[in-house]
């Protein structure tokens, strides 16, 4: 193989793309990555990772203002906002460098530029790459994986304007810590930013067009999150309609209509977090059998597009828009290319985590979705107030909820809110993946004292009754 | 750089040899001059020294492999931190050694690790799979039980062939349409009636296939003179009260069961079971008796037969057979046992050999006692003679031991007074 001829070329170096390349290298395929911006994609650089670094800082700020219950007193706790932000950028830089190192170790060449499909030579596909430092190159590959990810959806009137209106991008490198902040959209992204800024001291108003925040989560969890955020001083408006923004010199005013009526509200900054669109432009899809449906590339359950030998994974390929979904699709796709037996990914086994405070985590069917699907359910609930570790930590607010199929004992879904739940959810994900029933979960010995024990109690609660509540 | 270590020629005329044993294992650091393996030809045993230093990355030819051609790569040396290259070693000389031939090789092969010899793949693998263990996720098992789907019918699509929920769900929707597809061979005439198998029939089919294809059966027959036993039986039955709880009526089979139990005490080498790389000695003599029932057979067990009197054995047999015939045996009454007996005397059969019930290692097939010419001294006489044939698992019971057992069995039956003690 020459330096431009490969078994596989991956366009996009985010959690989908770079994982595909690493797995391909493990399976001894010759592979290259084409990346136009930064390795690690949005996740590492402008998404998952920097937000978690920031949220850690806001968690610390919360503790700093809550020291008395632990017996501490600190005069004038303060922070340097620029340093808080700088730390998150440094973390991103470190991890992006880490991905570069992994690819180098695996001897995967990385072409810094933008790639697109450009026909084939009868035997292999051609990929035209416009290199960042000038010039072009042509790669050839038997297989191509499109992993170009997604970007923020822009609603008319809410275009990022370099001053008042932010997308997630600007929200991660803010020019100021806004005194008054409007967050539009209460999915994971909007909710995390709302939580971060609130806990750093901004007055935050969170707006959602649906009738509850975190609309994909279980209703009970949405309700508990809403109550918790309001207790923290966040203003939340659901079933809300937004009028046009009117931008002044230093601030922006907007009309918001809810069931209660219309309010005129003024803010220093606005974050628009209303969903994403796939990066399907300029990929050379036009003369191929690849179909695009509402900004996402259509694929089958094994990530194949309509064009033989071309695959699409991650955010560009559709929901759920999660880095771990992209990574698993990457592995599945590459293993299939290498001829290994694979199974399609079961969406009901993919967890979703939101790192606001309190954290939210879930996997599988909500109670409502389970019932709508025709299941007879058994539901278990266990509140953190019954958990010794949670109280010892000073985090007594939270809930673990399980949904079981009454007939077979299958764990249909699990939903949690509270401290550390994003780290705990994997236990339930393992249970769903391994097709464990309530019997095995009941038998599992959780260590004491941990917040995780509430997961065990929530299973008991669905059957014999919790012991500690 | 990775170096293949090749099978050396111990003499100019050597073409192949046996890799007796490895003195180093994968991952060990090797220095030049260290002895890493022993090679044997029919002329001599020699040591193999490492020429270079490095780490023993991978062994291609396991200990005990015979017929390794000279220059075949037997292992690869790698440097620290290096991965074993995929193309290293074309192990064409890994002819797995013949299973169960450990006996002749054992004395002279100084190589102690005999467990390696028993391990070679062919024998071990076949023992592994059909022990009847179904691998299925807990959920799949639950669902299958709930809708009465037999997991043994399913192929698993999960990791390592595990049966998972989707396999059971697919089987559910397919429904019992299977009978038609079961016998789609061209030789079966279209008018043939296809009758779906009952669960018992399926179990019999599966277990007996497993027994016959995985157990090396070995058979030993003797002709046993029954006259003394028949006479004793007559005497004992005459001593029974006419009726009441203490009444008994011994059958010939009852007495043969006890005779077999006594023989198993005297020759305990047949009261065993095969396990991979081990012979399991049963702690008690529990005999399974084959009983014919409608559309099949079942084997109720009498436990601790050697400790029971003829009367106890006889009464227990009557109870078990009666309940077996109406399907009222409890699982522990027919699952287990250390040895089996099958009796076809009632059909006038002259001789037959039975199929071993795994995990047992022996089954005695008892045929009809018939009047036959016998030689007494130097003259011809008439005696009642029964041909008994034992089938044993030759992996754990050698022919000579089976023959010894049969010899003892015959002497117990022909001097039946020992049955009464």
Q: Are residues A397 and A314 in the same domain?
A: no
Tell which of A322, A347, A372 closes a domain.
A347
Q: Are A327 and A14 in contact (CB under 8 A)?
A: no
pLDDT digits (tens, 9 = 90+) for B260-315: 999 999 999 999 998 888 899 999 999 999 998 887 888 999 999 999 999 999 99
CATH number, domain of A200, equals 3.50.50.60
A440 lies within 8 A of chain B by CB? yes
Task: Give the closest residue to A406 by CA, choosing from A441, A371, A361.
Answer: A371
Q: Are residues A184 and A257 in the same domain?
A: yes
Q: Where in chain B is the domain with CATH 3.30.559.10?
A: 213-420
Q: Are residues A16 and A108 in the same domain?
A: yes
Of A28, A407, A435, the CB nearest to B137: A435
DSSP characters for A439-452?
Answer: HHHHH----SS-TT
Q: In this predicted structure, what is the pLDDT of residue B64?
A: 83
Angle at which helices B399-414 and B227-238 cross, to 10°:
50
In chain B, residues with a C-beta closer than 8 Å to the C-beta of A408 are 139, 142-143, 146
Choose the final residue of a domain: A316, A347, A378.
A347
Same domain, A17 and A146: yes
- Let me know whether A26 and A99 are in one domain: yes
- Residue A393 is assigned to a structural domain of this protein: yes
The highest-level CATH class for domain B213-420 is alpha beta
Q: What pLDDT score does B132 carry? A: 63
**Residue B113 in this model has a pLDDT that exceeds 50:** no
User: What are the distances in angstroms from CA A135 to CA A116, A126, A129, A131?
Assistant: 14, 17, 9, 6
Residues A268 and A315 in one domain: no
List residues in chain B touching A: CB distance below 8 A.
86, 137-140, 142-143, 146, 157, 164-165
CA distance, residue B331 to nearest chain A CA (Å) = 24
Domain boundary among A272, A288, A308: A272
DSSP structure string for A273-319: ---EEE--TTSS-TTSS--EETTEE---TTSB-SSTTEEE-GGGG-S
Inter-chain residue contact B139 with A435, CB threshold 8 Å: yes
Q: What is the pLDDT of residue B43?
A: 59
Assess whether A21 and A41 both reside in one domain: yes
Q: Does a structural domain hold residue A159?
A: no
CA atoms within 13 A on the CB side of B18: 19
- CATH code for B135-183? 4.10.320.10
Q: Judge whether A49 lies within some domain.
A: yes
Q: Do A120 and A30 share a structural domain?
A: yes
Tens of pLDDT, residue by residue over B160-186, are 888 999 999 988 877 654 444 444 445
Question: How many structural domains is chain A composed of?
Answer: 3
**What are the residues whose beta carbons fall under 8 Å from the beta carbon of A155, sequence distance 6 or more?**
A272, A274
Q: Would A467 be classed as within a structural domain?
A: no
Q: Tell me: the pLDDT tens digits for B56-111?
A: 888 888 888 888 888 888 888 887 777 777 655 554 443 433 333 333 333 333 33
Token pair belonging to B152: 């043994």
Please enumerate, as own/partner, the contacts of A221-229 that have beta carbons within 8 Å and a separation of 24 or more: A221/A360, A221/A362, A221/A399, A221/A401, A221/A415, A221/A416, A221/A417, A224/A358, A224/A399, A224/A417, A225/A191, A225/A356, A225/A358, A225/A360, A225/A417, A228/A357, A228/A358, A228/A397, A228/A417, A229/A194, A229/A195, A229/A198, A229/A356
Evaluate if residue A1 carries a pLDDT over 70.
no
Say yes or no to pLDDT of A297 above 80. Answer: yes
- Examine the domain organization and report whether A147 and A282 are in the same domain: yes
Q: A149-172: per-residue pLDDT in tens? A: 999 999 999 999 989 999 999 999
User: Which residues, 6+ apart, have CB-to-CB distance to A341 below 8 Å?
Assistant: none
Per residue in A230-288, pLDDT (tens digit) is 999 999 999 999 999 999 999 999 999 999 999 999 999 999 999 999 999 999 999 89
Average pLDDT over residues B321-329: 88
Q: Any idea which architecture B3-122 has in CATH? A: Beta Barrel (2.40)
Answer whether residue A143 is part of any domain. Answer: yes
Residues A381, A339 share a domain: no
Domain of A394 in residue numbering reads as 358-462
Quick check: helix, strand or coil at residue A203?
strand
Q: How far does Cα A251 stand from its chain's mean position?
A: 30
Question: Which contiguous run of DSSP H or E holds residue A427?
Answer: helix A421-433
pTM greater than 0.90 (yes/no): no
Structure tokens at B286: 């529990």
d(CA A324, CA A310): 21
**Best CA proximity match to A184, nearest among A251, A272, A296:** A272
The pLDDT of residue B95: 40
- Give the distance from residue A440's alpha carbon to the nearest chain B alpha carbon, in angstroms: 8
């Amino acid at each position: 193989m020459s330096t431009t001829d490969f078994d596989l070329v991956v366009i996009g170096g985010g959690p989908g793309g770079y994982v595909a390349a690493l797995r391909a290298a493990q399976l001894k395929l010759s592979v290259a990555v084409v990346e136009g911006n930064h390795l690690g994609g949005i996740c590492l650089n402008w998404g998952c990772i920097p937000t978690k670094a920031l949220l850690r800082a806001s968690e610390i700020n919360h503790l700093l203002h809550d020291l008395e219950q632990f017996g501490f007193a600190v005069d004038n706790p303060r922070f340097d906002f620029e340093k808080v932000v700088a730390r998150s950028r440094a973390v991103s830089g470190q991890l992006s460098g880490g991905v570069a190192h992994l690819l180098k170790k695996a001897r995967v060449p990385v072409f810094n530029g933008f790639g697109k499909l450009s026909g084939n030579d009868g035997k292999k596909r051609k990929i035209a790459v416009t290199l960042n430092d000038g010039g072009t190159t042509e790669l050839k590959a038997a297989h191509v994986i499109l992993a170009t990810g997604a970007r923020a959806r822009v609603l008319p009137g809410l275009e990022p304007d370099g001053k008042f209106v932010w997308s997630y991008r600007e929200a991660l490198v803010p020019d100021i810590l806004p005194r008054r902040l409007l967050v539009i959209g209460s999915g994971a992204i909007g909710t995390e930013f709302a939580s971060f800024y609130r806990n750093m001291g901004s007055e935050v108003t969170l707006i959602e067009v649906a009738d509850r925040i975190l609309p994909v989560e279980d209703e009970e969890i949405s309700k508990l999150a809403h109550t918790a955020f309001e207790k923290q001083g966040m203003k939340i408006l659901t079933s809300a309609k937004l009028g046009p923004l009117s931008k002044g010199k230093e601030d922006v005013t907007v009309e918001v209509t809810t069931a209660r009526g219309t309010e005129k509200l003024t803010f220093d900054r606005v974050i628009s977090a209303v969903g994403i669109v796939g990066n399907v432009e300029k990929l050379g899809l036009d003369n191929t059998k690849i179909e695009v449906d509402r900004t996402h590339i259509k694929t089958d359950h094994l990530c194949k597009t309509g064009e033989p030998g071309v695959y699409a994974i991650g955010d560009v390929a559709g929901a759920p828009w999660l880095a771990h979904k992209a990574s698993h699709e990457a592995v599945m796709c590459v293993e299939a290319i290498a001829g290994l037996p694979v199974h399609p990914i079961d969406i009901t086994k993919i967890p979703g985590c939101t790192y606001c405070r309190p954290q939210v985590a879930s996997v599988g069917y909500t109670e409502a979705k389970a019932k709508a699907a025709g299941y007879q359910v058994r539901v278990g609930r266990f509140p953190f107030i019954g958990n010794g570790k949670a109280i010892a930590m000073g985090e007594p607010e939270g809930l673990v909820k399980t949904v079981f199929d009454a007939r077979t004992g299958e764990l249909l879904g699990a939903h949690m809110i509270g401290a550390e739940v994003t780290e705990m959810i994997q236990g339930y994900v393992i249970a769903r993946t391994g097709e464990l029933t309530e019997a095995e979960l009941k038998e599992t010995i959780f260590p004491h004292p941990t917040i995780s024990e509430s997961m065990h109690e929530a299973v008991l609660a669905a059957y014999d009754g919790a012991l500690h509540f | 750089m990775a170096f293949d270590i090749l099978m050396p020629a111990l003499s100019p005329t050597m073409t192949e040899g046996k890799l007796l044993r490895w003195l180093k294992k994968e991952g060990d650091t090797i220095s030049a001059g260290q002895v890493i393996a022993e090679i044997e030809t029919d002329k001599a045993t020699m040591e193999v020294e490492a020429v270079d230093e490095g780490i023993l990355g991978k062994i291609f030819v396991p200990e005990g492999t015979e017929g390794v051609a000279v220059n075949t790569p037997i292992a690869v040396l790698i440097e620290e931190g290096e991965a074993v290259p995929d193309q290293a070693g074309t192990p064409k000389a890994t002819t797995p050694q013949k299973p169960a031939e450990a006996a002749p090789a054992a004395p002279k092969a100084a190589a102690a690790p005999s467990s390696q010899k028993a391990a070679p793949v062919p024998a071990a693998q076949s023992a592994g799979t059909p022990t009847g263990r179904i691998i299925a996720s807990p959920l799949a098992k639950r669902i299958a039980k709930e809708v009465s789907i037999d997991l043994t019918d399913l192929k698993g699509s999960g990791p390592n062939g595990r049966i998972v929920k989707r396999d059971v769900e697919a089987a559910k929707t397919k429904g019992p349409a299977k009978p038609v597809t079961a016998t789609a061979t061209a030789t079966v005439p279209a008018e043939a009636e296809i009758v779906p198998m009952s669960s018992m029939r399926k179990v019999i089919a599966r277990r007996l296939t497993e027994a016959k294809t995985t157990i090396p059966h070995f058979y030993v027959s003797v002709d046993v003179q029954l006259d003394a036993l028949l006479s004793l039986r007559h005497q004992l039955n005459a001593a029974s009260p006419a009726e009441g709880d203490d009444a008994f009526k011994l059958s010939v089979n009852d007495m043969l069961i006890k005779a077999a139990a006594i023989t198993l005490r005297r020759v305990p080498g047949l009261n065993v079971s095969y396990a991979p790389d081990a012979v399991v000695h049963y702690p008690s003599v529990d005999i399974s008796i084959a009983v014919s029932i409608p559309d099949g057979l079942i084997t109720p067990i009498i436990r601790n037969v050697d400790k029971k009197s003829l009367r106890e054995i006889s009464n227990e047999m009557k109870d078990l057979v009666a309940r077996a015939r109406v399907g009222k045996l409890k699982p522990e009454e027919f699952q287990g046992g250390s040895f089996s007996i099958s009796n076809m005397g009632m059909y006038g059969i002259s001789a037959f050999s039975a199929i071993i019930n795994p995990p047992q290692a022996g089954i005695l097939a008892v045929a009809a006692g018939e009047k036959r010419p016998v030689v007494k001294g130097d003259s011809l006489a008439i005696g009642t003679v029964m041909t008994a044939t034992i089938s044993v698992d030759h992996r754990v019971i050698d022919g000579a031991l089976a023959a010894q057992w049969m010899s003892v069995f015959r002497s117990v039956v022909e001097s039946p007074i020992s049955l009464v003690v």
